[in-house]
Amino acid sequence: MNKRTLILISAILCGILIGISCNREKTVQPLLKVGMLDGLGSGHTNMTEAFAAAQLDSRISIKYITSANIAWGVLDSLDVLIIPGGGGSMHTFSLGNTNIDIIKKWAENGGGILCICAGAYALSHTPDYACFGMNGAQVFDLDHSSRGQGLCSIALTEEGKKLFPELKDTDTLHILFENGPMLVPADSAALAESPATEYAPIALMLSDVHTGAEFQSGISPGKPFFLANNYGKGRVFTSIGHPEGSASFSWMIPRILFWCAGKEDLALPVEYKAPFLDREVIMDEEDLQKEGSLYRTFVYGTKEEKLEGINWMMTHPSWSMKTWATCLLYDKDFEVRGAAASYILSTELLTAKKDLEAAYALEENPNAKAIMQKAVESLQSLYR
């Protein structure tokens, strides 16, 4: 190897090292570090949707954490913990007393917690229920918890309008609900023994959800949909519904996470656009049976049956079947693929983003490809 070659190689290596150094210097440190609880009580749909919603703000770093990570002290490196939907008592069981005590001490010293749906059950102060006792509330009518699902009408309180000023002139919002708890203030004796304060309502239910003859009407209106409280120096935000899975409302998750960390003044404003389905839609028993039948339709049905099923999905917001649209992006019929992309576009299904981008790259039919391109660009525009 001659001298000229050695000089050239040295120059290239120096350039690479300088580039690496510069890239390290340009790396932006996240403003918020968040952990998503991935345990036996964490439902896949809610966990992945809330995770994806947190990523809408590039200043938030989020990772999945387990009970083992908590036991090893991971919370000390986090600002906020998300306890997602799934199974409330299962959250308590899978974490165990040891990890729950760790979570409580961390929150009391300033850690923030966002609990969603089943997470709201888990953090409640409900008598005779396996729960943490952290959110200042207890479950009302626990024996009839599976009240129903659909798009619920809710209204922000004055405190809610401060947190979400983009919505201060919007009287009624429609956000996905799926068997979340009906909450009331915790017993005063329970609060007296806890660092938790009584909650402040951030949004209230307007819809009367009581699917099935065994459910009493008039229970849900006026119950909190969002609520917030302090736990020692920490903050807890409770959502009984699912903004992370609702068109036009997934941006609420980053906003809430900043609030939980006591950094709400750093949250980015958004341009609110009303969702395509801006009305109350509560699934009745016939709807739930139809929902259950669609899986077989999408696996074994004809093109026409699949298209009819997707059209039905557009006007019947569902908890489970929305994830099936991702699978239909790879259907044999381009009409079905295009319809699935339209559904993802309308519902802002964040968890479908990677598959949508992959399906778009593979798509050969110009009509389906045009729809996919529009959907890809729409989802990408949500990130900031």
pLDDT of 9? 39
CA distance 214 to 144: 8
pLDDT of 83? 98
pLDDT of 319? 75
| HSE-CB of 51 using CA atoms within 13 angstroms | 18
365: buried, middle or exposed (CB in 10 Å: 19+, 13-18, 0-12)? middle
Closest alpha carbon to 248 in 223, 273, 219: 273
Instruction: Enumerate the H helices of the chain as residue ranges.
Output: 3-26, 44-54, 67-71, 88-108, 118-122, 158-163, 188-192, 252-260, 285-300, 303-315, 324-328, 334-347, 353-362, 366-380
Cα dist from 360 to 199, 254, 342, 354, 373, whole Å: 46, 28, 13, 10, 7
Q: How many residues does the chain have?
A: 384
Which tens digits make up the pLDDT trace of 292-311? Answer: 999 999 999 999 999 999 99
In the three-class reduction of DSSP (H, G, I as helix; E, B as strand; rest coil), residue 81 is classed as strand
First-to-last alpha carbon distance for the chain, in angstroms, is 50
Domain range summary for the chain, segments of one domain joined by +? 32-266, 283-380
Average pLDDT over residues 348-364: 97
pLDDT of 120? 96
The domain 32-266 is placed in CATH, from the list 2.60.120.330, 3.90.105.10, 3.40.50.880, 3.40.640.10, at 3.40.50.880
Which tens digits make up the pLDDT trace of 331-344? Answer: 999 999 999 999 99
Closest alpha carbon to 51 in 69, 63, 39, 65: 63
pLDDT of 20? 38
Q: What angle do CA 181, 186, 189 make, to 5 degrees?
A: 155
| HSE-CB of 343 using CA atoms within 13 angstroms | 30
Tell me which residue has tokens 């918890």. 145
CB 115 within 8 A of CB 235: no
Cα dist from 302 to 140, 247, 309, 315, whole Å: 45, 28, 11, 21
CA distance 187 to 200: 15
* Highest-confidence segment of 280-289, 318-327, 361-370: 361-370
Render 234-253 in DSSP notation, one character per residue: EEEEEESEEGGGSTTTTTHH
Cα dist from 167 to 57, 76, 172, 201, 250, whole Å: 19, 34, 9, 16, 14
φ and ψ of 216, to 5 deg? -75, 140
| Reported pTM | 0.91
Which tens digits make up the pLDDT trace of 85-115? Answer: 999 999 999 999 999 999 999 999 999 999 9
CA distance 240 to 366: 42
CB 354 within 8 A of CB 372: no
pLDDT of 29? 82
CA distance 175 to 225: 10
Which tens digits make up the pLDDT trace of 156-215? Answer: 999 999 999 999 999 999 999 999 999 999 999 999 999 999 999 999 999 999 887 678
